[in-house]
A and B are shown apart, each in its own frame.
Chain A
Amino acid sequence: MNINATLIGQAIWFAFFIWITMKFVWPPLQRAMQERQKQIADGLAAGERAKADLIQAEHKAAAALTEAKGRATEIIALSEKRAAQIVEEAKTAAKGEGERIIASAKAEIEQEVFRAKEALRNQVADLAVAGAGKILMREVDAKAHTELLAQLKREL
Chain B
Amino acid sequence: MASGAAQTSSEYITHHLTNLHAGHGFWTFHLDTLIISGAIGLFIFGLMAWAASKASSGVPGKLQNFVEMVVTLVDSQVKDTFHGDRSFITPLAITIFVWVFLMNAMDLIPVDWLPLAGGAVGIHHLKVVPTTDPNLTFAMSLTVFALIYFFNLKVKGVGGFLHEVFTAPFGPWLAPVNLLFRIVEDIAKPISLALRLFGNMYAGEMVFILISLLGLWQLPLALPWALFHILIITLQAFVFMMLTVVYLSMAHEGH
Contacts and interface: CB of A to CB of B under 8 A. Distances in A.
Given A3-B134, A4-B135, A24 B52 contact: yes
A156 interface: no
A13 B34 contact: yes
A10 B57 contact: no
B89 to A, nearest CB: 10
Interface residues of A, number: 34
B49 A22 contact: no
B143 interface: yes
Interface in B77-136: 87-88, 90-92, 94-95, 99, 133-136
B172 to A, nearest CB: 37
B27 interface: yes
B143 A29 contact: no
B34 A10 contact: yes
Interface residues of B, number: 46
Nearest to A15: B143
Nearest to B146: A11
B135 to A, nearest CB: 4
Contacts of A27: 52, 87
A18 B55 contact: no
A143 B28 CA distance: 178
B56 A32 contact: yes
Contacts of B178: none
Interface in B35-65: 37-38, 41, 45-46, 48-49, 52-53, 55-58, 60, 64
A20 interface: yes
Interface string A31-65: 11101101100000000000000000000000000
B166 interface: no
A3 B56 CA distance: 44
Contacts of B99: 14, 17
30 contacts: A4-B30, A5-B23, A6-B133, A6-B136, A6-B139, A7-B136, A9-B29, A9-B139, A10-B37, A10-B140, A11-B143, A13-B38, A13-B139, A14-B95, A20-B46, A21-B92, A21-B94, A22-B87, A22-B88, A22-B91, A24-B52, A25-B49, A25-B67, A26-B52, A26-B87, A28-B55, A30-B71, A32-B56, A35-B57, A36-B57
Q: Closest 9 CB pairs between A and B?
A: A10-B139, A35-B57, A24-B49, A6-B135, A22-B91, A32-B55, A21-B91, A11-B139, A4-B28
Interface of B: 19, 23, 25-30, 33-34, 37-38, 41, 45-46, 48-49, 52-53, 55-58, 60, 64, 67-68, 71-72, 87-88, 90-92, 94-95, 99, 133-136, 138-140, 142-143
Interface of A: 1-11, 13-18, 20-22, 24-33, 35-36, 38-39
Given A4-B23, A20-B46, 7 more contacts: A4-B135, A6-B29, A10-B37, A26-B94, A28-B55, A29-B55, A33-B57
